């Protein structure tokens, strides 16, 4: 049995595989375990505004391949993982955090909480409900104006518009997706993250509500001999790195 790759080895092994070997199946349970690693990724305010749809059903795979515009990375994939953002679930996720901390701190009155404990509870009971609600984007712009006025006098968080919070959710989902793909690479499985898809069709296929958004669809399998289209290109490191 081949041992798992180190983190560095997995990162270097991972490529966006466009064609998967049609004769090699992959173990759905192992893919599921890699998704368990995905949810350990860092996430803004620990809200975990994500969901992962692990698709193994042949009929659904065909439907999603069409929604992915017939890309080879979907057409030849043995399984697909659809990464979904759920900003609309901020209330449930905030409540789950409150319950976690209340259990962690023990059965005691509010007066008995330490300053740090009070901050943790109030973060989810007061701050998150201030940031996340919106109505047609209007409330977000009002918050944005107020926060920027305050920002004239002291540092303050400014990403409070509807579009800002959508970006926050997608960033967290992207971090989780990377955890998943590196975990797959570590066990010798390959992936290809795809943004090119008819997201409305994808949502209909998976019966997702309006508040859900497709972050990416990841093809899964084992690379075929011609599965990688060419050598990896990255701009010189010095052009992207600045030490301050």
**Whole-model pTM?**
0.93
186 CB-contact burial (10 Å; exposed 0-12 / middle 13-18 / buried 19+): buried
Q: What is the pLDDT of residues 96-142, one digit of tens each?
A: 999 999 999 998 888 899 999 999 999 999 999 999 988 888 888 99
Q: What is the mean pLDDT of residues 167-182?
A: 98
- CA 79 – CA 128 distance, rounded (Å): 36
Counting Cα atoms < 13 Å in the Cβ hemisphere of 238 gives 0
- The pLDDT confidence band at residue 215, using thresholds 50, 70 and 90, is very high
95 has a pLDDT exceeding 80: yes
Give the pair of three-digit tokens for residue 116.
């740090």
Look up tokens 């971090």; give the residue. Answer: 175
7-88+164-239 placed in CATH 3.40.50.2300: no
Sequence-distant (≥ 6) Cβ neighbours of residue 57 within 8 angstroms: none
Is 170 within 8 Å of 85 (Cβ atoms)? yes
1 has a pLDDT exceeding 80: no
Among 4, 8, 58, residue whose Cα is nearest residue 187: 4
Higher pLDDT, residue 39 or 134 = 39
Q: What is the pLDDT of residues 5-29, one digit of tens each?
A: 999 999 999 999 999 999 999 999 9
């Amino acid at each position: 049995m081949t041992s798992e790759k180190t983190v560095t080895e997995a990162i270097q092994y991972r490529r966006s595989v466009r064609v998967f070997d049609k004769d090699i199946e992959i173990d759905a349970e192992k893919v599921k375990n890699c998704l368990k690693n995905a949810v350990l990724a860092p996430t803004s305010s620990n809200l975990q505004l994500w969901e992962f749809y692990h698709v193994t059903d042949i009929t659904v795979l065909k439907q999603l391949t069409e929604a992915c515009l017939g890309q080879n990375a979907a057409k030849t994939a043995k399984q697909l993982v659809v990464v979904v953002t759920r900003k609309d679930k901020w209330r449930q996720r905030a409540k789950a955090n409150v319950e976690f901390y209340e259990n962690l701190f023990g059965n005691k009155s509010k007066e008995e909480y330490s300053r740090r404990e009070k901050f943790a509870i109030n973060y989810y009971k007061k701050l998150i409900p201030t940031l996340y609600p919106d109505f047609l984007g209007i409330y977000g712009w009002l918050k944005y104006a107020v926060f920027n006025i305050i920002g004239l006098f002291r540092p303050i968080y400014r990403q409070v518009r509807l579009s800002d919070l959508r970006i926050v959710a997608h960033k967290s989902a992207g971090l989780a997706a990377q955890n998943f793909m590196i975990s797959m690479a570590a066990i010798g499985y390959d992936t290809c993250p795809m943004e090119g898809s008819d997201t409305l069709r994808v949502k209909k296929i998976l019966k997702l509500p309006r508040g859900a958004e497709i972050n990416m669809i990841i093809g899964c399998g084992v690379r075929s001999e011609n599965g990688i289209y060419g050598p990896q290109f990255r701009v010189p490191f010095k052009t992207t790195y600045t030490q301050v």
